[in-house]
Amino acid sequence: MKTKTTRRTHLKVLGATLGGAGFLKAVAPLAQWTGDLDLDGFLQNHYKELGPDELASVLARHEEACKADYGADVEIRDVRPTPGVVFGYALNLSICNGCRKCAEACHQENNHDRASHQSYIRVFEMQKGSMDFEHGDAGYDHAVPAKDKFYMPVQCQQCENAPCVKVCPVEATWQESDGIVVVDYDWCIGCRYCEAACPYHARRFNWHKPEIPAEEVNPDQAYLSNRIRPQGVIEKCTFCLHRTREGRLPACLEACPTGSRVFGNMLDPDSEIRWILENKRVFVLKEELGTKPRFFYFFDE
Amino acid sequence: MSRPDHTQSYPRFLWRCVLSSLEGNGYYFAWMGGLFVLMLIGLDAFSGQTVEGMGVTAMSDHVSWGIYIANLTYFVGLAAGGVMMVIPAYLYKDHEMHKVVLAGEFLAIAAIVVALGFVAVDIGRPDRFWHIIPGIGRFNWPMSMLTWDVIVLSGYLLFNLHVAGYLLYTRFIGEQPSARFYVPVVLLSIVWAVSIHTVTAFLYSGLGGRPFWNTAILAPRFIASAFVTGPAFILLALQIVRRVTDFDMGVGPLRTLVAIMRVTAIVNLFLMLSEVFTLFYTGGAHAVGARYLYLGIDGHDALVPWIWSSMALNFTSAVLFVFSGVRKHRFRVNVACVFALVGIWIEKGMGLIVPGFVPSTLHEIVEYVPNLVEWKVSIGLWALGLMIYTIGAKLSVAVYTGAERLKPASNPDTDDNASSTKASTP
């Protein structure tokens, strides 16, 4: 009886030791991961709750981190919306030729991951006679424009009634006063509910830490737009707010060789976008969903 | 007998709970040891995923939720199904059911823990978990359905912990449970059980951009299948308890569970058929996810064999439930339970989540099949759930058979012997 009890105790001790060792082995990678996290980042508040001093130190910390991680000297600014401005975007499907220069410009301007060749714009080759994406193809690989096809670039529609904003459990994404839907990359928990909610496939997730060679990093960055995103968070098109809020045009528009893209302040009666909206028969994607996009399409003829 | 001093007896109760889970015969240790190893394998895979990024899974921007969210959905259903013990016991005053009602409470507890685990492994930034805590973070309530899910899931967990803990503790100290301390919570938990799976259905059905999910019948379908899986799991658990312990529960509870499943399994099939008819007869864009699921599109048919197996399992289990009696056809009933659990895991798991994403909102077809990392993490969490449930069941049997009870000035050695002989005789 005595020996049986001792053997049992020995077995228990052995089991507990093995179990403990196995546990430590299993969580070992996490130790490395928590080592990479810094306390300031962990405790950082939501963008809207940052005071001017806090925000300045957050921006400085991110600039240093970019230097350390990517070897690039960058300037990260906080660019706020201008009162009395609501941005709109229109795209002329009669002249878009499907060259995908816009998607490439987006890739570079917004410091996208090089490995996945990410971009906020997908260009669909569509069958003439149908507006149904069922007959579209985003993976075409031939000279453009092809016969009997037209081309439909799709990016974030900056919906007035945005399903993605509604579903976010932590208010990490919201609509600014100029209509641009932004993400606080430092607040997003990475649940991807917004990605499921978006009817336009406009959101992207950082499945890995983005890879960009130092010389290719665009140093002109903003906190809410094109700064290099952390791993495990959602990102999306911001109408290049670091450019457009300072009077410049979005990178995709500047890159377009056909002139099919029109961008501007919809509240300005003299703007080109206003002229398009007033004089062309524009339409929006999936109007029946009631999302009220601020991205419009039209044909010339 | 004088009233025990709770400041003394409650810590002692908790300590006995811990000890009880560390005692048992060889079978118990083999079972728990095996589960622990599986859990470690899952933990290891999760650690790697956290460091490397979610890209080590098979998910993509096209199919951005996969087997983790599928499991979340299934386990919320299992948790809600636990209430099918509680309703007969408390609303219909079924006394035999009262004796085993803890089997339902512990299913709720274990399944909610697993469900929350599947949320934790699915988010890209587990370190930012505090952002979703009301008061500290920014809680987008009431707009975001996910915040509702946080509230109902954690509430349901707390209610069931309270009821199970209270019933065990009063038995442990040899007192009658006082109705006012737990019956109101039990009644609330019945409503709450329906709410957890309803809210989880609303999570999907509220998305206008995903026609496959955007259907009002989703919540009723979730509830119907939950009321099959919950009783099926409990019935199997009770069969095992009957075999490995000398706890006398009678055949009444099993009979009640089968009676419930006869109805719910058929209702589940009926709702599924209603949905399939509407989708396929109407056709068009609304049906395209369903077409992918049941028939495949342009040679993309990863889910087709799964969903047809699920249909066969669900149909067979419904037929078996109708034509089997608990006493006469024990084996058949057990088989029907296993079929129902597997069939609904497919239907309310992968068969629900993946077709929401295939084809994508812009009609691109990117298929998804979970990879080894995702299987390891999933199996690890299942093992964790089974460990919790086993401990709960063992504890309940020990307390209800009187093997574990507060004894004044008891000596730990005799305590040990009492519980190991009583509670775990195979």
pLDDT, tens digit, 9 for 90 and up, residues A276-298: 999 999 999 999 999 999 999 99
Displacement of CA A183 from its chain's centroid (Å): 8
How many C-beta neighbours within 10 Å does residue B337 have? 26
Q: How far is A235 from chain B (nearest CA, A)?
A: 11
Return the pLDDT at A286. 96
- pLDDT tens digits for B305-357? 999 999 999 999 999 999 998 889 999 999 999 999 999 999 999 999 999 99
Determine whether the interchain pair A209/B208 forms a contact, defined as Cβ–Cβ distance below 8 Å.
no
Out of A12, A169, A199, closest to residue B361 by CB: A199
- pLDDT tens digits for A12-25? 888 889 989 999 88
Which residue of chain B has the CA closest to A30? Answer: B47
Residue whose pair of structure tokens reads 């094109």 in the numeric block = A226
Which residue of chain B has the CA closest to A36? Answer: B51
Which residue of chain B has the CA closest to A154? Answer: B362
d(CA A158, CA A296): 11
Crossing angle for the helix pair B6-21 and B412-423, to the nearest 10 degrees? 50
Determine whether the interchain pair B362/A29 forms a contact, defined as Cβ–Cβ distance below 8 Å.
no
Environment class of B158 (CB within 10 Å of its CB; exposed 0-12, middle 13-18, buried 19+): middle
On the question of pLDDT at B97 being above 60, the answer is yes
Query: pTM (2 decimals)?
Result: 0.94
Question: CB distance from A188 to chain B under 8 Å?
Answer: yes
d(CA B299, CA B2): 75
- pLDDT tens digits for A83-129? 999 999 999 999 999 999 999 999 999 999 999 999 999 999 999 99
Determine whether the interchain pair B362/A197 forms a contact, defined as Cβ–Cβ distance below 8 Å.
no
Scanning A113-132 for CB atoms below 8 A from B yields 122, 124, 132
- pLDDT tens digits for A229-243? 999 999 999 999 999
On the question of pLDDT at A203 being above 80, the answer is yes
DSSP A188-232: -----HHHHH-TT---EE-SS-----GGG---EEETTTTSPPPTT
- pLDDT tens digits for B264-295? 999 999 999 999 999 999 988 889 999 999 99
On the question of pLDDT at B246 being above 50, the answer is yes
Out of B41, B140, B207, closest to residue A170 by CB: B140
- pLDDT tens digits for B128-187? 999 999 989 999 999 999 999 999 999 999 999 999 999 999 999 999 999 999 999 999
Return the pLDDT at B250. 86
Return the pLDDT at A83. 97
Return the pLDDT at B412. 44
On the question of pLDDT at B418 being above 80, the answer is no
- pLDDT tens digits for A146-176? 999 999 999 999 999 999 999 999 999 999 9
Using an 8 Å CB-CB cutoff, list chain B residues near A190.
Answer: 54, 123-125, 128
Using an 8 Å CB-CB cutoff, list chain A residues near B371.
Answer: none
Return the pLDDT at A137. 95
Return the pLDDT at A299. 95
On the question of pLDDT at A2 being above 80, the answer is no
Question: CB distance from B144 to chain A under 8 Å?
Answer: yes
d(CA A127, CA A139): 14
What count of Cα atoms within 13 Å lies in the side-chain half-sphere of residue B392? 27
Q: For residues A192, A197, A203 and A208, what is the CA-based torsion angle, rounded to 10 degrees?
A: 20
Question: CB distance from A183 to chain B under 8 Å?
Answer: no
Which residue of chain B has the CA closest to A139? Answer: B364
On the question of pLDDT at B369 being above 60, the answer is yes
Question: CB distance from A257 to chain B under 8 Å?
Answer: no
Return the pLDDT at B409. 41
Of the pLDDT bands very low, low, confident and very high (cuts 50, 70, 90), residue B2 is low
Determine whether the interchain pair B47/A172 forms a contact, defined as Cβ–Cβ distance below 8 Å.
no
Scanning B341-370 for CB atoms below 8 A from A yields 356-357, 359-364
On the question of pLDDT at A272 being above 70, the answer is yes
Of the pLDDT bands very low, low, confident and very high (cuts 50, 70, 90), residue A11 is confident
Return the pLDDT at A8. 79
Residue type for B43, please?
Answer: L
Using an 8 Å CB-CB cutoff, list chain A residues near B62.
Answer: 201
d(CA B140, CA B146): 9
Question: CB distance from A198 to chain B under 8 Å?
Answer: yes
On the question of pLDDT at B375 being above 80, the answer is yes
Question: CB distance from B43 to chain A under 8 Å?
Answer: yes
Higher pLDDT, B17 or B407: B17
Question: CB distance from B322 to chain A under 8 Å?
Answer: no
Domains of chain A in sequence order: 95-245 (3.30.70.20)
Mean pLDDT across chain A? 95
Of A113, A207, A211, A237, which to mutate for an interface test with B (greatest number of B Cβ within 10 Å)? A207
Mean pLDDT across chain B? 92
Using an 8 Å CB-CB cutoff, list chain A residues near B64.
Answer: 192, 195-196, 205
Q: What is the ipTM, given to two decimal places?
A: 0.94
Using an 8 Å CB-CB cutoff, list chain A residues near B285.
Answer: 132, 134
Mean pLDDT of B222-226: 97
Using an 8 Å CB-CB cutoff, list chain B residues near A195.
Answer: 61, 64
Determine whether the interchain pair A27/B43 forms a contact, defined as Cβ–Cβ distance below 8 Å.
yes
d(CA A172, CA A169): 8
Return the pLDDT at B411. 45
Determine whether the interchain pair A134/B288 forms a contact, defined as Cβ–Cβ distance below 8 Å.
yes
d(CA B404, CA B382): 28
Which residue of chain B has the CA closest to A190? Answer: B124
Of the pLDDT bands very low, low, confident and very high (cuts 50, 70, 90), residue B413 is very low
Mean pLDDT of B406-421: 47
Determine whether the interchain pair A290/B208 forms a contact, defined as Cβ–Cβ distance below 8 Å.
yes
Print burial letters for A260-299: b (CB count within 10 Å at least 16), e (below 16): bbbbbbbbeeebebbebbeebebeebbeebebebbbbbbe
Determine whether the interchain pair B360/A201 forms a contact, defined as Cβ–Cβ distance below 8 Å.
yes
Out of A19, A169, A198, closest to residue B209 by CB: A198
Determine whether the interchain pair B41/A206 forms a contact, defined as Cβ–Cβ distance below 8 Å.
no
| Inter-chain contacts counted by CB atoms under 8 A, chains A and B | 171
The greatest distance separating any two alpha carbons of chain B, rounded to the nearest whole angstrom, comes to: 76
Residue A74 contacts by C-beta under 8 Å, 6 or more apart in sequence?
Answer: A63, A66, A67, A217, A218, A219, A220, A221, A227
| Residue B167 contacts residue B186 (beta carbons within 8 Å) | no
Residue A143 contacts by C-beta under 8 Å, 6 or more apart in sequence?
Answer: none
| Short-list A279, A247, A278, CA closest to A263 | A247
Return the pLDDT at A3. 66
| Short-list B276, B320, B377, CA closest to B43 | B377
Determine whether the interchain pair B363/A136 forms a contact, defined as Cβ–Cβ distance below 8 Å.
yes
- pLDDT tens digits for B140-154? 999 999 999 999 999
Residue type for A187, please?
Answer: W
On the question of pLDDT at A136 being above 70, the answer is yes
Using an 8 Å CB-CB cutoff, list chain B residues near A291.
Answer: 208
Out of A15-24, A70-79, B37-46, which region has the weakest mean confidence (pLDDT)?
A15-24
On the question of pLDDT at A301 being above 90, the answer is no
Residue type for A81, please?
Answer: P
Using an 8 Å CB-CB cutoff, list chain B residues near A122.
Answer: 362
Scanning B167-226 for CB atoms below 8 A from A yields 203, 206-210
Using an 8 Å CB-CB cutoff, list chain B residues near A233.
Answer: 124-125
**3-state secondary structure string, chain B?**
CCCCCHHHHHHHHHHHHHHHHCCCCHHHHHHHHHHHHHHHHHHHHHHHHHHHCHHHCCCCCCCCCCHHHHHHHHHHHHHHHCHHHHHHHHHCCCHHHHHHCHHHHHHHHHHHHHHHHHHHHHCCCHHHHHHHCCCCCCCCCCCCHHHHHHHHHHHHHHHHHHHHHHHHHHHHCCCCCCHHHHHHHHHHHHHHHHHHHHHHHHHHHCCCCCCCCCCCCHHHHHHHHHHHHHHHHHHHHHHHHHHHCCCCCCCHHHHHHHHHHHHHHHHHHHHHHHHHHHHHHHCCHHHHHHHHHHCCECCECCCHHHHHHHHHHHHHHHHHHHCCCCCCCHHHHHHHHHHHHHHHHHHHHHHHHHHHCCCCCCCCCCCCCCCHHHHHHHHHHHHHHHHHHHHHHHHHHHHHCCCCCCCCCCCHHHHHHHHHHHHCCC
Backbone angles phi and psi of B36, in degrees to 5: -65, -40
Return the pLDDT at B424. 37
Determine whether the interchain pair B52/A233 forms a contact, defined as Cβ–Cβ distance below 8 Å.
no
Return the pLDDT at B410. 46
On the question of pLDDT at A205 being above 80, the answer is yes
Out of A195, A208, A231, closest to residue B64 by CB: A195
Determine whether the interchain pair B64/A196 forms a contact, defined as Cβ–Cβ distance below 8 Å.
yes
